[in-house]
Chains A and B, each alone.
Chain A
Amino acid sequence: KQEVTQIPAALSVPEGENLVLNCSFTDSAIYNLQWFRQDPGKGLTSLLLIQSSQREQTSGRLNASLDKSSGRSTLYIAASQPGDSATYLCAVATGNQFYFGTGTSLTVIP
């Protein structure tokens, strides 16, 4: 069964700093990996989707990479802003469902 782990569980950084969130998964037979953002009391907002054949995807200040063979993905956030404060979740998709990581709670201090 697929297990997804995210490290660190919580992260606090000063505004302007670049940061990396990590996601690891145990079964490399995935179709894609998706990064989400969840604000307190809100739903999930899709940030980036990486298909299994891709190595990385970029959207604005966000860059996600995927190394399927080693079961790892990273989300790089450049020049962090207080508005980036949220919980970040990665989800690994198999044929029938997707498995979520435990999330990283990010706080960007002004």
Chain B
Amino acid sequence: DTAVSQTPKYLVTQMGNDKSIKCEQNLGHDTMYWYKQDSKKFLKIMFSYNNKELIINETVPNRFSPKSPDKAHLNLHINSLELGDSAVYFCASRRRQAPFTEAFFGQGTRLTVV
């Protein structure tokens, strides 16, 4: 059983297109995240949802819009894709209430904008 699953694993698309990445966790965690890993492999938070409520929204272009239909899902929609959006996007989840559990990450979605 995959704890945190993302789809698709690879996404190649043209500039200007709109695309979505889906994430699901089956761990019963109350908090989910989207992280972006850049070309230098540095991971930076984009969004965090707790019980379907947005609690972190870092400085991310408003072309990026997260949506959490329920606690187990956090999808990422990107409008008008740009070359600079090319990166690996990771979804993660954990329990935010003490004792804080370890975070689990999905396998990542490698987005290439051409």
Q: Report A's interface with B, CB cutoff 8 A.
A: 31-32, 34, 36, 38, 41-44, 46, 49, 51, 87, 89, 91, 93, 95-100, 102-103
Contacts and interface: CB of A to CB of B under 8 A. Distances in A.
- Label chain A's interface by main secondary structure: strand
Interface of B: 33, 35, 41-45, 48, 55-56, 90, 92, 94, 96, 98-108, 110
Contact of A87 (B41, B45, B103, B106): B41
Contacts of B98: 31
A97 B45 contact: yes
B103 A96 contact: no
A30 to B, nearest CB: 10
Contacts of A96: 48, 55-56, 96
A73 to B, nearest CB: 14
A102 B42 CA distance: 6
Contacts of B99: 51
Most buried by A among B90, B102, B108: B102
